[in-house]
Structure 1
Amino acid sequence: MDSLVIAGLVFVCLFGGAMGGMWASRRLKEQHLSKETQEAVKLGVGMVAAMASLILGLMTASVKGNFDSTSRDVQQYATYLITLDVALRHYGSDADAARAALRAYTSHALDETWPGQLEPRPAEPGQVGAGPTTQVRVTSDVSEARLSQVGRLIRALDPKTPEQNDLRSEAVERYKSLSALRWVLIEESATQVPSIFTVVLIVWLTFIFMSFGLFSPINAVSVSVFLLCALSLGGAIFLILEMSTPFEGIIIIPPDAMQKALQHMVK
């Protein structure tokens, strides 16, 4: 479900719960709103609030950790691309085809993962597929085919000097690291926030806001505060869900490192 829809649902439930508590307080008998009752309710709600804070903290830590890890891996991936291109460049003209394939793959990966960041580019001769994408796709058969072609061209190199032999070995090892890290990024592309966590958290927060409204005076200040608090918590849930998809939505990992890698290749 879209993060904005869930955030809106959180706001409606929380603010509705507070207003429901205010509405209920006007229809309860006085003994049900006594000081002793308020103390008992505060004690129970305090325990629920502590658990809600724990769940919210766990969700935040999980998605933030994955987001930061993915950002570092993207930078490492760009570094692997640059060092592989440098090794092929030093190899000589025999590696031009492999370098062209590597540039084509990098351009396609950028266009596929960050749509709209690059101008449409024509397909390289002999490459699979061409043209920009309009939807974020961290992995596809086209990307895998392009990267596999880079590997085939590197392995097909026929070194004629000891230096070329060393550069070919370096390129093969860098290609293996690149392929492995690509699958790591695919796995990191989305942190699955358990739906049950979100549902339970919404229920708990709604109950908490309902208890707040139950013993709050009905005036503009109270309603405004509950409105702002509901908006704040809805915003917090929105940020958590947005960060759970590092390549989609409003909060994404910037493509700067990959763009610099591509710029380095075309020099």
Structure 2
Amino acid sequence: MPDLLIAVIVFLALFCGAMLGMAVARRLAERHLAKETQDAVKLGVGMVVAVSSLILGLMTASVKGNFDSTSRDVQQFATYLITLDGTLRDYGPQAEPVRLALAGFTRELLADTWGIREPAAAPNGRGQAQEHDPWSQVPFSDVTRALRALSPETPLQIELKAEALDRSRSLSVLRWTVIEESVTAVPPLFTAVLIAWLTFIFMSFGLFAPINRVSVTTLMLCAACLGGAIFIILEMSSPFDGLIHVSPASMEHALAQMMKPV
């Protein structure tokens, strides 16, 4: 289900819950709205509010931590690409096919992950990011195969080939790390339970709130804020999809460095 649709459902559930609470309050006898009753309800709801706040905080910290970790790994991946390209430049003209394969891999990764089809000509272009794990769909084998096919002729080239192979292994490991980090799944049942708790909380707010424009508007804005919070959490759980995604700037910079003339 799209994240924006879930956020709208959260907003409607919370706001309708508050309105239901107001409607129920008008049908209750006066003794049911006594101060003692309000204190008892507020005490119980306060515990639910505390647990809900804790869960929202943990969810935010979890997805934010994973998002930041993925962003750092992408930046490090771009750094590895630049250093590997520099090693191949030092190797000499014989490594030009490997450099072309490396640039092609980077270009395809940008296109499949961020929808940037021609970053060299239009570095600010954006397209629709792919779903699932686009990094796993881009082959890195062409680069490693071309790298292993190199035949060093001097001690320096032997050293440079070994360095390049070591860097390519680091790239492969880091690439699979990014793939594993690309999605922090938020269980649907977990989200549904949290929405039910928040709806119950808003029903209690409406139960004892005065029926006027100020209280209705305030409850509506609060419901919208919580819907927005859920939307941000769900968006950040997929670092390469949606409106909030890892920046491709480091990868674009890496490709730009590869495209510079030797």
> What band does the TM-score fall into relative to the shorter chain?
over 0.9
Residues 244 and 233 of structure 1, relative CA distance in 2, 3 Å threshold: same
**Gap regions ≥5 residues in structure 2:** none
Mapping 1:198-209, distance limit 5 Å = 198-209=191-202
Where does residue 96 of structure 1 map in the other structure? Answer: 96
Pairing 1:250–2:247 present: no
Give me the CA root mean square deviation.
1.7
Q: Give me the whole-angstrom Cα distance separating, in 2, the residues matched to 1:133 and 1:53.
A: 36
Where does residue 236 of structure 1 map in the other structure? Answer: 229
Q: Give me the whole-angstrom Cα distance separating, in 2, the residues matched to 1:141 and 1:50.
A: 40
Cα distance, 1:119 vs structure 2: 5.6
Higher mean Cα deviation, 242-251 or 109-118? 109-118
Residues 33 and 133 of structure 1, relative CA distance in 2, 3 Å threshold: closer
Where does residue 5 of structure 2 map in the other structure? Answer: 5
Where does residue 194 of structure 1 map in the other structure? Answer: 187
Paired amino acid for 2:146: L
Higher mean Cα deviation, 193-202 or 229-238? 193-202
Q: What TM-score do the two structures reach when normalised by structure 1? A: 0.92
Where does residue 128 of structure 1 map in the other structure? Answer: none
Question: Which of 208, 216, 228 does residue 223 from structure 1 map onto?
Answer: 216
CA contact (8 A) 1:88 1:96 kept: yes
Paired amino acid for 2:8: G
Mapping 1:19-34, distance limit 5 Å = 19-34=19-34
Mapping 1:44-55, distance limit 5 Å = 44-55=44-55
Q: Give me the whole-angstrom Cα distance separating, in 2, the residues matched to 1:134 and 1:120.
A: 18
Mapping 1:1-267, distance limit 5 Å = 1-116=1-116, 118=118, 135-136=129-130, 138-139=133-134, 143-144=138-139, 147-267=140-260
Residues 264 and 116 of structure 1, relative CA distance in 2, 3 Å threshold: closer
Give a deviation string over 1:208-247, Cα, whole Å, max 9, x none. Answer: 0000100011000000000100000000000000111111
Paired amino acid for 1:9: I
Q: Give me the whole-angstrom Cα distance separating, in 2, the residues matched to 1:216 and 1:133.
A: 47
Residues 29 and 117 of structure 1, relative CA distance in 2, 3 Å threshold: farther
CA contact (8 A) 1:14 1:205 kept: yes
Aligned length: 255
Cα distance, 1:140 vs structure 2: 6.3
Residue aligned with 2:134, SS: coil
CA contact (8 A) 1:112 1:133 kept: no
Paired amino acid for 1:251: I
Q: Give me the whole-angstrom Cα distance separating, in 1, the residues matched to 2:13 and 2:221.
A: 13
Residue aligned with 1:26, SS: helix
Q: Percent identity?
A: 59
Q: Give me the whole-angstrom Cα distance separating, in 2, the residues matched to 1:87 and 1:120.
A: 22
Q: Give me the whole-angstrom Cα distance separating, in 1, the residues matched to 2:62 and 2:54.
A: 12
Q: Give me the whole-angstrom Cα distance separating, in 1, the residues matched to 2:178 and 2:119.
A: 24
Give a deviation string over 1:179-211, Cα, whole Å, max 9, x none. Answer: 111111111111101222211110111000000
Paired amino acid for 2:23: W
Residues 2 and 152 of structure 1, relative CA distance in 2, 3 Å threshold: same
Residue aligned with 2:245, SS: coil
Cα distance, 1:116 vs structure 2: 3.6
Q: Give me the whole-angstrom Cα distance separating, in 2, the residues matched to 1:222 and 1:210.
A: 13
CA contact (8 A) 2:120 2:256 kept: no
Q: Give me the whole-angstrom Cα distance separating, in 2, the residues matched to 1:201 and 1:176.
A: 43
Paired amino acid for 1:69: S
Q: Give me the whole-angstrom Cα distance separating, in 2, the residues matched to 1:23 and 1:142.
A: 54
Q: Give me the whole-angstrom Cα distance separating, in 2, the residues matched to 1:231 and 1:173.
A: 51
Q: What TM-score do the two structures reach when normalised by structure 2? A: 0.93
Q: Give me the whole-angstrom Cα distance separating, in 2, the residues matched to 1:260 and 1:95.
A: 21
